[in-house]
Structures are given as structure tokens and as C-alpha cells.
Structure 1
């Protein structure tokens, strides 16, 4: 699987359309962690990650997980005929 296909699979919902929530969650993770890595290089030393940064990343991931749970219900992907091994949006 190419990197482009993997990224498209990560950003699409179960019906194959683009998911704004997934794109936003990925953007929060990339920006927060990217800034942390950049500041480590700028400072020339390891800068401990702050609890605010952890809260942003965990909050965005938790919100996406809660949304998917709300949409699919208790049965999850299997109850709706989706097989996670087959991928989601390809």
C-alpha cells in the first residue's frame, strides 16, 4: 500500500467520503507534535512535552473516538458489515 493510499484511508469515513473530524484530528496531531519536535531542534536539547500539548492531542483523539462510537453504536464496525482488515475508504 502506498503512502498516499494509507493517508487517504486514514482520512476517509466508512462510506468513502472525506471526514472533517479525521482531517482536523490529524491536523491537530501533526501541528502539536511538529511544533514540539521543531522546538527541540531549535533549543538544541530535549524539551519536555507539556501537559497542555498532551491534552490537545488526547482530547482530539478522544473526541474522534467518541464520535465514531456514537455513530456506530455498541456493535462497532463489525455490527455494520465493515471489516477493518479490508480498509475503510479505498
Structure 2
């Protein structure tokens, strides 16, 4: 079993889509931490250093094993409707 570290940056907003950036996949936690150190002084990142998350992942293991369905949600103030995907559990 090989463990890798999947590094993401997320900035949450109340009134718009969150910013989600996939930074990369690293062979070790120290490698992921080094990437965070290298990026946290860059524009945007330096204002939200708490947005980094490194997730431990088993390499080659399927994480999501279900399909999905698309539905139309309640319309935002300025749109006719918004489509989004939901898990499709069998």
C-alpha cells in the first residue's frame, strides 16, 4: 500500500463559488509541507494561509465508487436555475 499526499487550496466565500485549486500530489507529508512553504508567500495564498489541506490518499484505490445525478436547484437571484451534481447511491 502506497500513501501519497494530495494538496489542495480552498478559499470559501459566502456569496459566490469557492476557489478550489489542486496544487499537486506528493510522495510524502514533508514534500507536501515544503510545497505549502514555497507557496504561502505568493499573492492570494499569503492572505489565506489556512486554505491549504494535504489529504492522505492510498495510491491506486478508488475513492468514489458511486455514480452521480444532475439536478436543477433553486435559482440564484440573477439566474434561471443552477445545475449541480449529487451522489447516486445504488
Q: When the two structures are superposed, what TM-score results if normalisation uses the length of structure 2?
A: 0.25
Higher helix share: 1
Larger radius of gyration: 2
Q: When the two structures are superposed, what TM-score results if normalisation uses the length of structure 1?
A: 0.25
Query: Relative contact order: is structure 1 or structure 2 higher (C-alpha 8 Å, sep ≥ 6)?
Result: 1
